[in-house]
Amino acid sequence: MGVEKQVEKVVVVTGTRGIPNILGGVETHCEELFPRLAAKGYRVVVVRRKNYVRDGLKSYDGVTLYDLPNFRRKSFEAIIHTLRAIVAARWKFKAHMIHIHSIGPALLTPVARLLGLKIVFTHHGPDYDREKWGKVAKMMLRLGERMGCRYAHQVIVISEVINQLIIKKYGRTDAHLIPNGVRAPVHIYNRDYLEVLNVESRKFIFAMGRFVPEKNFHLLIEAFSHLNATGYQLVIAGDADFEDAFSRSLKALAHDHGVVLTGFIKGEKLFTLLSHAALFVLPSSHEGLPIALLEAMSYGLPVLVSDISANKALDLPPSCYFRYDQPLVDNLREALADKLKETSPPVYDLSLYDWDRIAAETARIYELM
* Tens digits of residue pLDDT in 326-335: 778 888 888 8
End-to-end CA distance of the chain: 29
Least confident range of 18-32, 221-235, 298-312: 221-235
Q: Which numeric CATH code is attached to 192-341? A: 3.40.50.2000
Residue scoring higher pLDDT (337 or 279)? 279
Q: Give me the residue spans of the domains in the chain.
A: 10-181+354-366, 192-341
* Mean pLDDT, rounded, for 36-45: 96
Q: Taking 90 as the threshold, does the pLDDT of residue 369 lie above it?
A: no
Q: Does domain 10-181+354-366 have CATH number 3.40.718.10?
A: no
* Mean pLDDT, rounded, for 76-97: 92
Q: Taking 80 as the threshold, does the pLDDT of residue 324 lie above it?
A: no
- Treating both helix axes as pointing N-terminal to C-terminal, what angle do 25-39 and 355-366 enclose, rounded to 10 degrees? 70
Domains 10-181+354-366 and 192-341 share a fold: yes
CA 247 to chain CA centroid, nearest Å = 19
> Beta strand pairing status for 260-263 and 154-157?
unpaired
> Beta strand pairing status for 118-123 and 97-101?
parallel
* Mean pLDDT, rounded, for 310-317: 90
Cβ atoms within 10 Å, residue 130: 18
The whole-model pTM stands at 0.89
Least confident range of 68-82, 209-223, 236-250: 68-82
Q: Taking 80 as the threshold, does the pLDDT of residue 61 lie above it?
A: yes
d(CA 192, CA 241): 28
* Mean pLDDT, rounded, for 68-76: 73
d(CA 85, CA 71): 14
Residue scoring higher pLDDT (275 or 287)? 275
Q: Taking 60 as the threshold, does the pLDDT of residue 3 lie above it?
A: no
What one-character-per-residue DSSP string does 206-264 give? Answer: EEES--SGGG-HHHHHHHHHTT--TT-EEEEE---SS--HHHHHHHHHHHHTT-EEEES
* Mean pLDDT, rounded, for 156-167: 95
Given a contact cutoff of 8 angstroms between Cβ atoms, the answer to whether 77 and 52 are in contact is no
Q: Taking 50 as the threshold, does the pLDDT of residue 2 lie above it?
A: no
Whole-number percent of the chain with pLDDT over 90: 71
d(CA 70, CA 56): 16
What one-character-per-residue DSSP string does 146-168 give? Answer: HHHHHH-SEEEESSHHHHHHHHH
When the pLDDT of each residue in the chain is averaged and rounded to a whole number, the result is 91
pLDDT category of residue 73 using cuts at 50, 70 and 90: low
Q: Taking 60 as the threshold, does the pLDDT of residue 1 lie above it?
A: no
